């Protein structure tokens, strides 16, 4: 009993002494090293509160790149430390390796999500293929502008859109003279098995220059599946806003489309060509179609006048 009382008073006395002198146990913090695109492993490093210590030397590697510094933020926008620098650590922290080399952007450097090509703006929507989408239709300088209307495979607008004026036929859907895989649709049995527009017949390339083109059907499917599509209006114009996983958006006006010499469904429907021939009957072409409650891929007769929203790869 006396021993227990003695220990109690000893502990109380020690605690009181520590309180009086202001002593306390120092914290320990963990530094974690992140390869940030590189390869290899590095052990975590333990630091003691308020005590200086040299950082472990980098052992990560990145083929074709050279390590430069550590940074507290992955994109390099935080505090930087040189390899082996002596520092104090106020809390647990992760340090990200920063790389340069071969004249290429560093893996940690944010890639631009907007830009321009031949004087026309593009937006990166974060789609898997990396395809960049133009902010305007061919023939417009604003996102909400309808722009021009083109028959598929033609590079200029016109007043009348039907088979009699279509460039790649002799007056009807079964007299095709280009982009035909079936002799039943070709003029005098003509076939060339071309399934994608050539650059000379691409309205985007012809009007905006090399680097721009009409999207393929696969790229439109990618747009539909990897972006949210919201029916909305921009400056009083109805259309569809496609927003990617990175938060960037492009607005496409519901510009309607031409058949014969009249344009219908303006403000209610959007029709946009792809560069891809339909896998079904040869007179049809794949195109993006949207209205107030859906966006989808459709098949359309190639003589119709539809909008063109170009793409590029940067």
pTM for the model stands at 0.67
What pLDDT is stored for residue 19 in this prediction? 45
Q: Kindly list the distances between the CA atom of residue 157 and the CA atoms of 3, 173, 215, 229, 255, in Å, as whole numbers in the listed order.
A: 103, 20, 19, 28, 15
What pLDDT is stored for residue 79 in this prediction? 87
Burial letters 196-213, b for 16+ CB under 10 A, else e: ebeeebbbbbbbbeebbb
Residue 92 in contact with residue 30, Cβ under 8 Å? yes
**Taking the chain, what is the end-to-end CA distance rounded to the nearest angstrom?**
83
Q: Which residues of the chain have pLDDT under 70?
A: 1-24, 102-111
Cα distance between residue 12 and residue 17, in whole Å: 9
Cα-based angle 158, 163, 169 (whole degrees, multiple of 5): 100
What pLDDT is stored for residue 14 in this prediction? 43
What pLDDT is stored for residue 18 in this prediction? 43
Cα distance between residue 130 and residue 128, in whole Å: 6
Question: CA dihedral defined by 223, 226, 228, 234, rounded to 10 degrees?
Answer: -30
Taken in order of first residue, the domains within the chain and their CATH numbers are 27-110 (2.60.40.4270), 114-312 (no CATH)
Residue 92's nearest CA partner among 106, 77, 72 is 72
Residue 246 in contact with residue 125, Cβ under 8 Å? yes
Q: Which residues are CB-contacts of 314 (< 8 A; sequence separation ≥ 6)?
A: 112, 115, 117, 122, 132
What pLDDT is stored for residue 20 in this prediction? 43
């Amino acid at each position: 009993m006396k021993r227990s009382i003695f220990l109690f008073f000893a502990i109380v006395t020690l605690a009181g002494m520590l309180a009086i002198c202001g002593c306390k146990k120092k914290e320990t913090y963990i530094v974690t090293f992140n390869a940030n695109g590189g390869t290899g492993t590095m052990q975590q490093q333990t630091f003691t509160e308020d005590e200086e210590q040299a950082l472990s030397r980098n052992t990560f590697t990145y083929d074709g790149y050279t390590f430069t510094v550590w940074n507290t933020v992955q994109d390099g926008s935080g505090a930087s430390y040189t390899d082996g620098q002596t520092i104090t650590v106020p809390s647990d922290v992760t340090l990200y390796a920063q790389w340069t080399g071969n004249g290429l952007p560093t893996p940690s450097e944010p890639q631009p999500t907007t830009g321009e090509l031949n004087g026309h703006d593009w937006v990166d929507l974060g789609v898997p293929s990396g395809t960049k989408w133009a902010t305007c239709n061919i023939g417009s300088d604003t996102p909400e502008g309808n722009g021009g209307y083109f028959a598929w495979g033609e590079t200029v607008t016109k007043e009348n859109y039907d088979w009699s004026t279509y460039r790649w036929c002799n007056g009807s859907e079964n007299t095709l003279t280009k982009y035909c895989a079936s002799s039943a649709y070709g003029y005098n049995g003509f076939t060339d098995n071309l399934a994608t527009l050539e650059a000379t017949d691409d309205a985007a390339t012809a009007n905006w220059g090399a680097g721009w083109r009409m999207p393929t059907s696969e790229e439109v499917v990618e747009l539909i599946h990897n972006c949210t599509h919201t029916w909305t209006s921009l400056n009083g114009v109805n259309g569809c806003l496609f927003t990617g996983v990175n938060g960037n958006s492009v607005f496409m006006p519901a510009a309607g489309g031409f058949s014969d010499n009249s344009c219908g469904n303006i403000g209610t429907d959007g029709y946009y060509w792809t560069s891809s021939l339909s896998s079904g009957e040869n007179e049809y072409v794949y195109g993006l179609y949207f209205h107030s409650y859906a966006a989808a891929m459709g098949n359309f007769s190639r003589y119709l006048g539809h909008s063109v929203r170009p793409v590029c790869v940067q």
